[in-house]
Amino acid sequence: MNITFRQLRLFLALAETGSVSAAARMVHVTQPTASMGLKEITDAVGVPLYEVVARKVHLTAMGQELAKTARAISTEWESFEQEVHGVKGLTQGKLKVAVVSTAKYFVPRILGTFCAKYPQIDISLEVLNRDGVVKRLEENLDDLYIMSQPPLHLDLEDEVFMPNPLLLIASKEHLLAKKKIVDLTSLTNEKFIFREKGSGTRMATDAHLKRLKFKPDVKLELGSNEAIKQAVIGGLGIAVLSRYSLGDKSDQEAVAILKCKDFPIQSSWHIVSPKGKKLSPIATIFKKHLSQQAKG
């Protein structure tokens, strides 16, 4: 079996984009050249690696295995390149980070300080819901992952680096906003607006309320923090959101943070990666940078 490193990168691009034309653009070749290269790879392996259904590429089981192998080889090579740059006194290379949507309120600022310090590093940031980040984690697509509720079914390197308090919020006009202290029993008849099932915030909230033996009346389930904030401001109900999702001062002033002895829910931000994964030099530096920025 004779497959070149360039061909492996082409097949990896196909796996990541699901499109021959997009894969061609990613590796900077024409579409006919990409199509020919993919045919050569398939011929070399000797079994079908992908099929096209409704103009979308779907990998076969063997294609998925080849993509996994190509990804591992590519990661090792990039790590080697970074080691070489390090010996030369340079810091160059790529950093791929996937974060859950709530982390978008603070991770870009940390990435900004990192880029200012290491301007030659190319950074890819994926912002997804928790399920999307977990899927990328399962497939080992990135260097590091940031989330508040790491999956329990995976063996992970897991480091807590920053608290993530979950606050109980209401409209400024809500009657509860006028109270100095809110008792949990006073929430019995309130309508709650929650994140969708499977989100880190929802998982932490459900677990917390279950421990308190409190069953909320859930009126709405929404897939974004912004939508929940607007629903709360509009008087549709009360909600539980991360302090980070409240954004800047103007956003925070638009809602009332209710003072309740059972809130905030104490949650944390985690930096995770697959257990046993050898982090690249740049990923190691960024992980340390994250921790330093959190402490600062």
What does the domain layout of the chain look like in residue ranges? Answer: 91-164+268-296, 166-266
pLDDT at 248: 64
Query: Are 207 and 180 a contacting pair, CB within 8 Å?
Result: no
Residues ≥6 apart with Cβ < 8 Å to 238: 168, 169, 170, 174, 176, 187, 190, 191, 192, 193, 232, 258
pLDDT at 201: 95
CA separation for the pair 265, 269 (Å, rounded): 13
CA separation for the pair 172, 162 (Å, rounded): 29
Query: Are 196 and 222 a contacting pair, CB within 8 Å?
Result: yes
pLDDT at 146: 97
b (16+ CB within 10 A) / e for 136-174: bbeeebbbbbbbbbbeeeeebbeeebbebebbbbbbeeb
Superfamily designation of domain 91-164+268-296: Periplasmic binding protein-like II (3.40.190.10)
pLDDT at 94: 85
CB atoms within 10 A of CB 119: 9
pLDDT at 130: 95
pLDDT at 176: 92
pLDDT at 251: 58
* Full pLDDT tens readout for the chain, 296 residues: 788 888 888 999 999 888 999 999 988 899 899 999 999 999 999 999 999 887 788 999 999 999 988 888 887 887 787 677 665 555 678 899 999 999 999 999 999 999 998 888 889 999 999 999 999 999 888 999 999 999 999 999 999 999 999 999 999 999 999 898 999 999 999 999 999 999 999 999 999 999 999 999 999 999 999 999 999 999 999 999 999 998 765 556 779 999 998 999 999 999 999 998 888 888 998 999 998 888 76
pLDDT at 155: 95
**Domains 91-164+268-296 and 166-266 alike in fold:** yes
pLDDT at 55: 78
pLDDT at 249: 58
pLDDT at 253: 72
Superfamily designation of domain 166-266: Periplasmic binding protein-like II (3.40.190.10)
- Predicted TM-score of the model (pTM): 0.75
